[in-house]
Amino acid sequence: MNKPARFGLIGLGWRGEMYLRLARQLPQWFEPAGIAVRDPDKYRAAAAEWGLPLFRTPRELARECDFLVAAVSKSSAPDLLAQLAASGIPVLAETPPATDEAGLRQMAALAALHPRIQVAEQYPLQPHHAARTALIASGTVGEVRHVQVSAGHGYHGIALIRRWLGVADERCRIVAQRFEHPVLEVPVRGRSVTDKVETELQDIALLSFEGGQSAVFDFTRSQYFSPLRQNRILIRGSHGEIRDNEVTRSLGGGAFEALTIRRIQDGMEGSLAPASLRELRAGGKHLYKNLFYPAPLSDEELAMAEALRAMGEYMQTGKSFYSLKEALDDLRLSLAMDSAIASGSTVVSM
């Protein structure tokens, strides 16, 4: 690692403050230069708590850092990214880069110009998802042609599906439906709950890709906060499969073995070390190493830190890790899935 990646933050909402907390916990990796907001007077006290200067425009802030992190509202993102690209300012954009077909077209035209924009799609960077990706890349389960993903809404789930199937921007046929189910009140972001029953929405979609790969998308937002709703992953390959953290693979000659993706974590069972993930492994395979050990970070925070780190590397080497075009490919499928739900008809995404 060289000097810390110096970034400027646009916006100071919930997600923006997560980036600042990461920088505070990982000063050897990241250094915030300041915050750009539309109304500096409104955020002056908050910025003072972080010890950071406020800037009236992103362009002014960009002079003080290596790149900007755009953590603004979804509706503001397309115009902001277009303005930054026109000025040649490198930016790490929060997801999604657009929210509708008009924004998608606007961003597609921008992506064709190859701007210095990367998107902070954190789901493939989360430790267990990254470990599954490593298993697929190693050939452990052979050729993967079918996945079932219940781990993130919309474009997040699609990002995992496309990565694990290895599909690009090919045609996809989508059949989808939304269901309503009862669930005990969900403790969203730590709110107090009672035993009241509320309604959750569950989206289920079948995706059939032109190359013959297929996927099932299944998600309800209760999974983000309720212990009553767990994530589920199934990755089926020609020589084995991954079911959540359980792996079955062929050894040849009719023999097979079962492996478990194990979490090697400090701060448990009486350990006085920080509660920090060291690595993930399955049998003798090292699948994921935490570069930010021993900082006590959640898996979500580790993924966000990796996106920041990768952006710093992108600035030095030009190595893309999740381009605007890739993000738009995922968003296009996500919007097509929404259209299939709304219309009740089969939708073909080009």
Instruction: Output the DSSP codes for 65-110.
Output: SSEEEE---TTTHHHHHHHHHHTT--EEEPSPS-SSHHHHHHHHHH
pLDDT at position 272: 86
Report pLDDT digits (tens) over 147-180.
999 999 999 999 999 999 999 888 999 999 999 9
Residue-wise DSSP of 35-60 = EE-S-HHHHHHHHHHHT--EESSHHH
Q: Which pLDDT score, from 0 to 100, does residue 1 have? A: 54
**Spatial CB neighbours of 283, under 8 Å, sequence gap ≥ 6:** 257, 259
Give pTM, 2 decimals.
0.95
Q: How far apart are the first and last CA of the chain?
A: 41
**Residue position matching structure tokens 């890790």:** 321
pLDDT at 169: 83
**Domains of the chain with CATH codes:** 5-119 (3.40.50.720), 124-297 (3.30.360)
Instruction: Flag residues of the chain having pLDDT under 50.
Output: none
60 touches 35 (CB < 8 A)? no
Contact 129, 160 (CB under 8 A): yes
